[in-house]
Structure 1
Amino acid sequence: MKVGVIGAGAAGYFSAILAAKENVDVTILEKTSKPLAKVKISGGGRCNVTHAAFENSKLVKNYPRGEKFLKKVFTHFSVKDTIDWFESRNVPLKVEEDGRIFPVSDNSQSIINALQKEAIRLNVKIQLNFSVDKIEKAGDRFIIFSKDRKIDFDRLIICSGGNPKMEGFNFIHGLGHTIVPPIPSLFTFNTPHEPIRKLMGISVPEAYVRLEGTKLAYQGPLLITHWGLSGPAVLKLSAFGAQWLHEHKYKTKAHIRWNSDWTEDFILQNLLNFKNQHPKKKISTNSLFGLPARLWEHLTENSEISEESIWQNIAKKQLNKLVQNLFCYIVTVEGKTTFKEEFVTAGGVDLDEVDPETMQSKLVNGLFFAGEVLNIDGITGGFNFQAAWSTGYLAGRNAVYKF
């Protein structure tokens, strides 16, 4: 039996390895000259392999699209299975404080080496610079056409990843599958006309960010950059709000509470207590609530409090405005920026047309899917890789079974 795998990313390699374990002929077709390129750059070059969410019911909550589908997938290959797989191949992993899991080496090459070594051991072949133009089903076989060559297989696993354009899915659409139009997910917010950009580099550990007029909100670390807002709170919000933000052309207002636990009463009471205890201290140069000094200075300035003002002279209007800036600082968002090189898209092959128990197409016998080519995407933190390992496991294992 000949099994073809389109795409040499995480899902492609994993499904090829699982298929090759059954002593069949496996070939990966990769359109670029660099296999596992996304694995190489992920996590700042450290590769965020998975996340320490060991209960599947909690794990699936980190996928804006694909939650119900993945609930079934993860029963077959879980986070623990991922850890066991890599550690049994001499890649020890570690859990960081925020739950992200990395190789102890802090080097993505450790993950790449493990995958490539296993693929070589199992005689997986790879053809680079093979761009798929068209796929035809001829009887029980799949014929793959590239510009100057063609190759045929008994079974086919498509792991071609996400694509920002519909044309990138043409060869799949040609097989009769529905493609959910791709839109960006996991991006940062551009705030080109906001003075807060001058505070680039400043971060807070537990902000709460909400999109105005919606229930879309997320909390977590927030980073101010030279183009706007970033950090896990914004990236997660961009993923869950991907469709809404796309429909609103990435123009909205973000409401920021600089600490997710604060209430307006808590803020006001603390400010009044400090005023009573230190009436002659300058307001702008004595940062409260553990906020970075430059951020505090900006918030006081935004509350129309002068640099020389002391607490005993603060007007009620200024005090109320400072409470508002701490509890609900409003930023105008105009556009987005892809998060590093790790672009993730929502959209892809419609999940209603794929069996979550096997990853086989419900429309085309012998055709399987794995990874981001499906309408599945996770938030930042190793979740997209976990979906790749799990769907790749099922696709590779089931592709070699006789129907």
Structure 2
Amino acid sequence: MIVQPLKVVVIGGGAAGFFGAITCAETYPQAQVILLEAGRQPLSKVRISGGGRCNVTHACFDPAGLVQYYPRGGKALRGAFSRFQAKDTVVWFSDRGVQLKTEPDGRMFPITDSSETIVDCLFEAARASGVQIRRGTPVDKIFRQVTSLNQPLDTGFEIQLKSGEIFKCDRILLATGSNPQGYRWAKTLGHTIEPPVPSLFTFTISDPRLQDLAGVSVESARLRLGVGKTQLEQIGPLLITHWGLSGPAALKLSAWAARMLHDCNYRTTLQINWLPQYNPEKLREMLLAVKSQLPQRAISTNCPLPLPRRLWQSLIAAVGISGEQRWAELSNKVLNQLIQELSEGKYQIQGKGVFKEEFVTCGGVNLKEVNFKTMESRICPGLYFAGEILDIDGVTGGFNFQSAWTTAYLAGQAMGNEEIKN
């Protein structure tokens, strides 16, 4: 009797799809692993990430600390990270000849500073482990295999390609990212989908105070927004752009407030503290000190605070201080207005921009319907999930890739097993 090898199909040729396919093929050499990618160029998001350098992961090697960077999914990932975390990612790539380096902010990149290094590594690992990669092979529909009485089997699937080709498999890994088609397949197979909305984006703000300041940045600003009782804030570097605000503080706030901002159609009030290291009393003391020591100096050219000159000049103009006005002429009323402008200026968000070419969503497959020890569906045996198709998203800094590596690794470790354990 000839025993047919277990057939595993991975749908999606991104980071999670490749990593899951490779892990399965390496762990279960007897299994037949096929990766289906609709496009002609797999790993497209890996190629453009980190400005073409690929921010592989983040140098946070404590699972309990790592989950703090996920606005959604952190709780579910806690156990998963105890089995495969950032440190394991570093070792995995190192074992295959790719060394990673850590930048001051904790982001980790290949020492070549080229995403092609990661792409080449994943392609070579897939080839060496026997993964069959089929490009330009879009899937149309997925069905559970049925008995002669039209009852679903405990395992087994039929995949219909857009070309009309149909083939059967024992396991499926859905690693389709935020592609709506992936959500539809998961829903067809019984899963609940949390409505996907954008995460990790910049803020569109048209305000005279920011006009002509594109490229100006501050090392640390506090951004705060809130609707009703929900108040969210982030502190970090902030960059003024042609369209509004970007930089880590804005991007992280956009992630944590993704649903709130979606619900208000990306139109709300943002409060900015340009100098969160100083409380209002300290700001008053510093401003009064320069008024006392340099009373005849122009306010516009004598800033006592660690702010970019152009930003300082724009903020003082906003409270009515002219370019020639001297410190001795600063009234208490205008001083109070300036302190308020520096510590709690209000700006109107009028929309969202994109973060370079990287697009992250929150939403996806409901995490309660997935076994995070194996990434197998609790509803449809033999179906696995990895990556962004899940309702998981991290802030900027390599965290979204890390959740992709982790969930794909766990799926790959489990789905080549001859026995389904759900």
TM range (shorter): over 0.9
Q: Does structure 1 retain, via aligned residues, the 8 Å contact 2:182–2:389?
A: no
State the secondary structure of the residue aligned to 1:180: strand
The alignment partner of 1:234 has SS state of helix
1:117 is aligned to: 124
Does 2:228 align with 1:221? Answer: no
Worse-matched range after superposition: 167-176 or 82-91: 167-176
CA distance in 1, matches of 2:133, 2:305: 56
Map Cα deviations across residues 249-298 of structure 1 (whole Å, 9 max, x no partner).
11111111112222100111000011111111100122332211100000
- By how many angstroms is 1:87 displaced? 1.2
Q: Extract unaligned runs of 5+ from structure 2.
A: 1-5, 146-152
CA contact (8 A) 1:154 1:366 kept: yes
Q: Which moved more, 1:128-137 or 1:42-51?
A: 128-137
Q: Which residue of 2 aligns with 1:71?
A: 78
Q: Which residue of 2 aligns with 1:143?
A: 158
- Deviation, structure 1 residue 402: 2.0
Residue aligned with 2:162, SS: coil
Q: Who is 2:383 aligned against?
A: 367
- Please give the residue correspondences for 1:272-311 in structure 2 after superposition, counting only pairs within 5 Å: 272-311=288-327
User: Does the CA contact (< 8 Å) of 1:288 and 1:296 recur in 2?
Assistant: no
Normalising by structure 1, what TM-score?
0.97
Of 18, 23, 45, the residue aligned with 1:13 is 18
Q: Is the 8 A contact 1:50 1:386 kept in 2?
A: yes
List 4+ stretches of structure 1 deviating above 3 A.
none
Structure 2 SS opposite 1:215? strand
Preserved contact between residue 194 and residue 332 of structure 1 (Cα < 8 Å): no
1:178-223 CA distances to partner (integer Å, 9 max, x unpaired)?
1111011001110135441321110001110001454200010100
CA distance in 2 between partners of 1:65 and 1:241 (Å): 11
8 Å contact from structure 1 (residues 66, 375) kept in 2: yes
In the other structure, the counterpart of 1:347 is: 363
- The offset of 1:150, in angstroms, is 2.3
Pick from 186, 210, 214 the counterpart of residue 196 of structure 1: 210
**Shift in CA distance, 270/381, structure 1 to aligned 2, threshold 3 Å:** same
Aligned counterparts of 1:195 and 1:261: Cα–Cα separation in 2: 21
How far apart in 2 are the matches of 1:225 and 1:321? 25
Tell me, yes or no, if the aligned pair for 2:266 and 2:351 is still in contact at 8 Å. Answer: yes
1:212, 1:2 → 2: CA distance?
A: 50
Identity percentage over the alignment?
A: 48
TM-score, length-scaled by structure 2:
0.93
- Match in the other structure for 1:179: 193
| C-alpha separation in 1, matches of 2:373 and 2:286 | 55
SS at match of 2:124: helix
RMSD: 1.2
Say if 2:58 is the partner of 1:51. yes
For the residue of structure 2 that corresponds to 1:284, the secondary structure is: helix
Is residue 245 of structure 1 aligned with residue 261 of structure 2? yes
Distance 2:279 2:273 in 1: 9
Change beyond 3 A, Cα 1:356–1:194: farther
SS of equivalent to 1:75: helix
Q: Distance in 2 between matches of 1:192 and 1:398?
A: 51
- In the alignment, is the contact (CA less than 8 A) between 1:212 and 1:255 conserved in 2? no
Following TM superposition, by how much is the alpha carbon of 1:52 offset from its aligned partner in structure 2, in angstroms? 1.0
* The one of 28, 31, 35 aligned to 2:38: 31
Counterpart pick for 1:41 among 27, 33, 48? 48
Residue aligning to 1:2: 7
Is the Cα–Cα contact under 8 Å of residues 132 and 171 in structure 1 kept in the other structure? no
Q: For 2:170 and 2:226, locate their aligned partners in 1 and report how far apart those are by CA, in whole Å.
A: 52
Q: Counterpart amino acid of 1:362?
A: R
The 2-side partners of 1:314 and 1:160 are apart by 60
Q: Distance in 2 between matches of 1:169 and 1:49?
A: 25
Aligned residues: 401
Question: Deviations 1:115-141 (Å, cap 9, x if unpaired)?
Answer: 111101011111112222210010332
CA–CA distance in structure 2, aligned partners of residues 212 and 362 of structure 1: 36
Q: What letter is aligned with 2:12?
A: G
Q: In the alignment, residue 212 of structure 2 is paired with which amino acid? A: K
After the TM superposition, which of the residue ranges 122-131 and 238-247 deviates more from structure 2?
122-131
- Matched-pair contact (CA < 8 Å) for 1:133–1:171: no
Is contact 1:92-1:103 (8 Å) kept?
yes
- Match for residue 408 of structure 2? 392
Q: Deviations over 1:99-156 (max 9, x none)?
A: 1111111111111111111101011111112222210010332111122122321111
Look up the equivalent residue of 2:216 and give its one-letter code: I
Q: How far apart are the structure 1 equivalents of 2:56 and 2:417?
A: 28
Unaligned runs of 5+ in 1: none
Rounded Cα–Cα distance in structure 1 between residues aligned with 2:77 and 2:166: 34
Within the candidate set 249, 274, 291, 1:258 is matched to 274
